Amino acid sequence: METVIYRQEKNSSGVTMIFNLAKVSWMYPDNIIRVKQLREQSTSNLLQHDWHDKMVCGCTVGGYKQLILGGQTGVITVYRLSYSQTKQGEVAVCGQPVRLYGHDSRITAVYACEQFSVVVTADSSGVCIVWDTNRLSYAHSYRAHHGVVRAVSVSSTLGYIASVSHTGLLSHLAVHNINSKHVGSIDTELAINCICFSTSPEGTAINIIAAGIEDGSIRMWNTWDLQLVRAISSPASSLPLISLIFSKDSHTLYASNTDGRVFVWHRAGRTKDHPESNFMPLM
């Protein structure tokens, strides 16, 4: 399992630039968390994690400021990271880790939303917990499902939390607000493997929840009443989708499948404004 860390700054023209892109990975037999810098050939050891709890999922806050990992025992561990002032791109751990307790079963999903200063964690019993990332403390919890939560996402504009569980080949998608109040639910006849929200400014557009489906298609529901907006797919593949993300302006949607292929959709009429996507090798 792995996540990406990076540092971002605005240049003199006000354009946000990305620096020090690196990959953090875990789930090695020795329980060491490793980091690999962009275009480097080998990984380096970042830290030795607790032998008593194997990390199974995680994410970052603020690009690199906090590395949040969920373990098999249900414990959430937060590491504070920083970039070296002397050696360019080198990542270091600051101080001792903070451990958050609330789950009593294996963590299955972790998602951070910097705009609302929360991280949402979910476990194999169907419980979701909202944590305050500023205070590193418990905020709310709720039982969203009766089984394993497979995926979680948080809207950066509304603060809505979407979570998914499976029952056989069927999926149940539940939506709650930032205070853990139920907004609505959707049941699908095919398994949902991943979800994400679009991020258009509220009041100028109606945002959507996009879901990557087992048959390789993507379904979209609006966030106002959870009505289906449309379904899209690529004739090039019918393999299960495992990851989805919108561009910052929500005009482009990226999806990847189990074969490692990435598919890109642009908003109608905007193709000419978007040059061909350039991908940097990081693995």
Looking at residue 269, which CATH number applies to its domain?
2.130.10.10
- In the DSSP assignment, the letter for residue 30 is T
For residues 90 and 151, state if they share a domain: no
- Among 50, 80, 101, identify where a domain stops: 101
How far apart are alpha carbons 131 and 277 in whole angstroms?
35
Domain count along the chain: 2
Examine residue 172 and state whether it is found in any structural domain, yes or no.
Answer: yes
For residues 6 and 92, state if they share a domain: yes
For residues 278 and 149, state if they share a domain: yes
The per-residue pLDDT for 240 is 95
For residues 97 and 149, state if they share a domain: no
The per-residue pLDDT for 1 is 63
Tokens 């995926």 locate to: 151
Examine residue 139 and state whether it is found in any structural domain, yes or no.
Answer: no
The per-residue pLDDT for 45 is 81
For residues 265 and 150, state if they share a domain: yes
The three-point CA angle 155-171-199 to 5° equals 15
The domain containing residue 10 runs over which residues?
Answer: 1-101
For residues 178 and 84, state if they share a domain: no
Examine residue 125 and state whether it is found in any structural domain, yes or no.
Answer: no
For residues 93 and 225, state if they share a domain: no
Going residue by residue through the chain, which has 283 residues, state the pLDDT in tens, using 9 for 90 and above.
667 766 666 777 776 666 667 788 887 888 888 887 766 667 778 878 776 788 889 998 877 789 999 999 999 999 998 877 666 667 778 889 999 999 999 999 999 999 999 999 999 999 999 999 999 999 999 998 999 999 999 999 999 999 999 998 899 999 999 999 999 999 999 999 999 999 998 888 899 999 999 999 999 999 999 999 999 998 888 899 999 999 988 999 999 999 989 999 998 765 555 555 555 554 4
The per-residue pLDDT for 31 is 83
Examine residue 109 and state whether it is found in any structural domain, yes or no.
Answer: no
SS3 state at 174: strand
Tokens 């980091």 locate to: 35
Examine residue 121 and state whether it is found in any structural domain, yes or no.
Answer: no
How far apart are alpha carbons 63 and 16 in whole angstroms?
13
